[in-house]
């Protein structure tokens, strides 16, 4: 590689406002970058996390009986209609509560939740990154549910008593219900055929028609809204309660879900409720399950109410209820589904089950997601100081955790790509999981070609207290040296070696709670130059049983077992980093702070500044020193 000269004002380039290195320097090949790197002011409790763990609590409506249901919770980085990526999947428990620690990119400030009770965008709590200091976030989908009957009189008392519970749902119009049987008739209001009845509580029949209560006579109509038929409730001459309703067949224990799109025009007085009212064979109401809507939005918003039908249910009344004076209320895309199908009997609806015919499996949980890879980048001179190009071993990874309906791991599919070896050492790579070695039935797909790794019959490493999988004992087996240059795929101009993908399958003998296991990549490490005890881990991650702890505190390592400090120098520099997307690593001998212009600010601010320091955006990178 040719020598390049970069004249840079460090105050701007490194984003360090008070740095003692605020001067113009010349990069003559690394000496000054070494000084800068070793002068970083990094806090003892910074763990170099580009991710954060969130203690996510999602509560589903109390109107549903979850004793035999494991309802799916899907977590995205944003709405799927906006290109959101699925980050995590799991089941609610018997109380309808999902409580799981999930790992997400540190820069995310919002999560999008998709559930049987609707979808919701939530804003995350913020705070310093910590290995164990989780931030609790979540949402209660039942917070706006009520069990009171529709109110026919005393309009002011009803509306004022719940006005403080106003909420706004998301604009989520592009729903796809092709896989769900809609048991309502005329849910899109394409037919201009409406019946009538005196009150919401009047006797009804299952006739496939929407019936208008007498209070709204003359103000309900099919309306053409920008080329689409919808239901419109027009401005009455006075305050009125009234509804539009339809009766459906139902049975005890049926899970009925009622979803509709709603919008208004104008800012005058109007309130809406969505009701599911189970009735017995005599037509008498058995319960009232409602969702209150107070919205002034002129955009379509989606709302849901869901409930388990009680004993003696013979039918269920679907009711769009209103208190209106002024302007208009609109409804469209009414969908009512139920009961759900569960072919394998695991409690997960077939439409939500990734394995609908296998009761031992329910969900595929990918990390970082089903399409992308994350990266681990190591320095291998430990316990000596590294050159901080973080390319001695670069491993891309993607984990697919196969979980059952009880949020337990039953199988793990791990994909690894050895992408770069910027070293002459022959290094191995593996990861440790928080489970007993005996919990693992078998491991396949690893590469053990030399003679320094001892395996148990299940192909986990022998002599370990926790289940430990050595993916490869010699990275050059996966990425052979091309014969020129330093390392493989780190020196521009040298022959590029196409990486291969390793697929490691781990089958468990006993399902293990995902909460116990933690999140991928678990506890990854390299073995330096085939010296088994010479392990290099991410900052402040524990060594395995077979690590030689006599290395701690030697040369530049400042690990302190008593304080929980591991694999950091005396000024808290790491030997490994984990990035939640594919890492574009520096070329040979180029420092990470030279390649990534916000790394210093990120490290010295303990991750609060530029948590996305590694992304490919304007002003973030020096492309000239990135491979």
Q: What is the pLDDT of residue 542?
A: 98
**Which of 167, 114, 123 shows the shortest CA–CA distance to 145?**
167
Pairwise CA distance, residues 489 & 416, whole Å? 16
**Within a 10 A sphere around the Cβ of 495, how many other Cβ atoms?**
12
**DSSP annotation of 6:** -
Q: What burial letters (b/e) apply to 597-623, b meaning 16+ CB within 10 Å?
A: bbbbbbbbbbbeebbbbbbeeeebbbe
**DSSP annotation of 573:** -
Per mean pLDDT, which range of 11-15, 274-278, 407-411, 436-440 is the poorest?
A: 11-15
Cα dist. 144→165, 288, 332, 399, 484 in Å? 7, 13, 21, 37, 67
Q: Which fold has domain 145-337?
A: Jelly Rolls (2.60.120)
Residue 166 has pLDDT above 50, yes or no: no
Q: For residues 234 and 211, is the Cβ–Cβ distance under 8 A?
A: no
Confidence of residue 325 (pLDDT cuts 50, 70, 90): confident
Q: What angle do CA 136, 614, 413 make, to 5 degrees?
A: 65
**Within a 10 A sphere around the Cβ of 191, how many other Cβ atoms?**
13
Confidence of residue 132 (pLDDT cuts 50, 70, 90): low
Residue 30 has pLDDT above 50, yes or no: no
Q: How high is the mean pLDDT of the chain? A: 89
Residue 196 has pLDDT above 60, yes or no: yes
Per mean pLDDT, which range of 223-237, 278-292, 302-316 is the poorest?
A: 223-237
For 56-140, give the CATH class. Answer: mainly beta
Per mean pLDDT, which range of 14-18, 410-414, 513-517, 599-603 is the poorest?
A: 14-18
Confidence of residue 136 (pLDDT cuts 50, 70, 90): confident
Pairwise CA distance, residues 374 & 584, whole Å? 11
Strand partners, 290: 146, 275
Strand partners, 203: none
Q: What is the pLDDT of residue 240?
A: 82
Q: For residues 455 and 461, is the Cβ–Cβ distance under 8 A?
A: yes
More confident residue, 417 or 338: 417
- Percent of the chain at pLDDT > 70 equals 89
Pairwise CA distance, residues 586 & 30, whole Å? 13
More confident residue, 17 or 534: 534
Residue 141 has pLDDT above 50, yes or no: yes
Average pLDDT over every residue of 105-119: 95
**Which of 205, 233, 201 shows the shortest CA–CA distance to 217?**
233
Q: For residues 258 and 177, is the Cβ–Cβ distance under 8 A?
A: no
Confidence of residue 9 (pLDDT cuts 50, 70, 90): very low
Pairwise CA distance, residues 245 & 276, whole Å? 10
Residues 568-588 have pLDDT tens digits of 999 999 999 999 999 999 999
Q: What is the pLDDT of residue 14?
A: 39
Q: What is the pLDDT of residue 486?
A: 77
The dihedral through the CA atoms of 532, 379, 36, 494 has a sign that is positive
pTM for the whole structure = 0.89
Pairwise CA distance, residues 152 & 617, whole Å? 58
Residues 438-488 have pLDDT tens digits of 999 999 999 999 999 999 999 999 999 999 999 999 999 999 999 877 789
Q: What is the pLDDT of residue 158?
A: 37
Residue 139 has pLDDT above 90, yes or no: yes
- Burial label for 390, CB within 10 Å (0-12, 13-18, 19+), is buried
Residue 388 has pLDDT above 80, yes or no: yes
Average pLDDT over every residue of 66-74: 95
Pairwise CA distance, residues 28 & 623, whole Å? 18
State how beta strands 210-213 and 428-432 pair.
unpaired
Pairwise CA distance, residues 40 & 612, whole Å? 19
Residue 156 has pLDDT above 50, yes or no: no
Q: What burial letters (b/e) apply to 46-67, b meaning 16+ CB within 10 Å?
A: bbbbbbbbbebebbbbbbbebe
Q: What is the pLDDT of residue 180?
A: 61
Residue 56 has pLDDT above 60, yes or no: yes
State how beta strands 145-146 and 289-293 pair.
antiparallel
Pairwise CA distance, residues 215 & 236, whole Å? 10
Q: What is the pLDDT of residue 612?
A: 97
List strand residue ranges (DSSP E) for 433-500, in order: 440-444, 468-472
Confidence of residue 16 (pLDDT cuts 50, 70, 90): very low
Element spanning 121, H or E: strand 118-123
* Domain map (residue ranges) of the chain: 1-39+590-627, 56-140, 145-337, 362-589
Pairwise CA distance, residues 35 & 586, whole Å? 18
**DSSP annotation of 609:** S
Cα dist. 116→142, 167, 169 in Å? 11, 18, 15
Q: What is the pLDDT of residue 108?
A: 94
Q: What is the pLDDT of residue 429?
A: 98
Residue 168 has pLDDT above 90, yes or no: no
Q: What angle do CA 319, 320, 323 make, to 5 degrees?
A: 125
Average pLDDT over every residue of 245-266: 96
Pairwise CA distance, residues 423 & 585, whole Å? 14
CA atoms within 13 A on the CB side of 8: 21
Average pLDDT over every residue of 78-98: 96
């Amino acid at each position: 590689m040719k020598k390049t000269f970069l004249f840079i004002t460090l105050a701007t380039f490194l984003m360090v406002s008070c740095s003692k290195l605020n001067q113009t320097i010349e990069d003559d090949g690394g000496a000054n970058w070494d000084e800068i790197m070793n002068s970083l002011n990094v806090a003892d409790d910074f763990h170099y996390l580009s991710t954060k763990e969130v203690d996510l609590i999602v509560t589903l409506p109390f109107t549903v009986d979850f004793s035999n249901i494991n309802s799916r919770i899907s977590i995205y980085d944003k709405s799927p209609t906006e290109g959101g990526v699925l980050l995590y999947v799991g089941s609610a428990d018997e109380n309808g509560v999902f409580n799981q620690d999930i790992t997400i990119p540190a820069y995310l400030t919002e999560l999008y939740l998709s559930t049987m009770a609707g979808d919701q965008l939530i804003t995350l709590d913020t705070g310093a990154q910590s290995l164990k200091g989780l931030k609790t976030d979540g949402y209660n989908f039942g917070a706006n549910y009520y069990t009171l009957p529709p109110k026919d009189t005393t309009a002011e008392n009803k509306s004022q008593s719940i006005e403080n519970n106003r909420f706004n749902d998301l604009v989520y119009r592009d729903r796809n219900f092709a896989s769900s049987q809609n048991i309502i008739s005329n849910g899109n209001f394409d037919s201009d055929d409406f019946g009538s009845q005196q009150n919401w509580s009047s006797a009804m029949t299952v006739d496939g028609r929407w019936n208008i209560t007498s209070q709204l006579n003359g103000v309900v109509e099919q309306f053409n809204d920008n080329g689409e038929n919808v239901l419109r409730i027009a401005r009455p001459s006075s305050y009125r309660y009234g509804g539009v309703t339809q009766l459906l067949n139902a049975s005890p224990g049926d899970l009925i879900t009622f979803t509709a799109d709603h919008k208004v025009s104008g800012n005058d007085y109007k309130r809406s409720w969505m009701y599911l009212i189970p009735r017995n064979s005599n037509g008498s109401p058995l319960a009232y399950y409602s969702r209150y809507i107070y919205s002034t939005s002129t955009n379509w918003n989606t709302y849901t109410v869901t409930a388990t039908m009680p004993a003696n249910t013979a039918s269920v009344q679907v009711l769009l209820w209103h208190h209106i004076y002024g302007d208009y209320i609109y409804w469209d895309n009414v969908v009512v589904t139920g009961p759900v199908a569960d072919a394998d009997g695991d409690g997960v609806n077939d439409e939500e089950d990734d394995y609908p015919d296998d009761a031992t499996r329910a969900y595929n949980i990918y990390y970082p997601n089903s399409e992308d890879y994350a990266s681990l980048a190591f320095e291998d001179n430990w316990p000596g100081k590294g050159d901080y190009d973080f390319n001695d071993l670069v491993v891309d990874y993607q984990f697919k955790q196969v979980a059952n309906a009880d949020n337990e791991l039953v199988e793990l599919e791990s994909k690894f790509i050895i992408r770069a070896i910027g070293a002459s050492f022959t290094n191995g790579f593996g990861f440790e999981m928080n489970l007993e070695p005996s919990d693992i039935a078998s491991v396949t797909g690893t590469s053990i070609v030399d003679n320094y790794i001892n395996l148990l019959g299940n192909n986990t490493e022998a002599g370990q207290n926790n289940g430990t999988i050595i993916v490869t004992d010699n990275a050059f087996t996966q990425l052979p040296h091309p014969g020129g240059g330093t390392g493989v795929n780190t020196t521009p101009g040298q022959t590029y070696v196409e990486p291969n993908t390793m697929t490691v399958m781990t089958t468990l003998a006993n399902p293990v709670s995902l909460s116990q296991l933690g999140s991928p990549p678990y506890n990854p490490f390299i073995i330096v130059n085939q010296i088994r005890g010479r392990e290099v881990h991410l900052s402040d991650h524990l060594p395995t049983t077979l690590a030689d702890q006599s290395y701690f505190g030697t040369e530049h390592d400042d690990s302190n077992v008593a304080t929980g400090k591991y694999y950091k120098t005396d000024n808290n520099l790491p030997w490994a980093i984990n990035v939640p997307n594919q890492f574009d690593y520096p070329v040979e001998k180029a420092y990470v702070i030279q390649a990534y212009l916000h790394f210093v600010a990120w490290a010295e601010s303990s991750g609060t500044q530029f948590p996305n320091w590694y992304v490919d955006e304007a002003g973030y990178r020096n492309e000239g020193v990135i491979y």
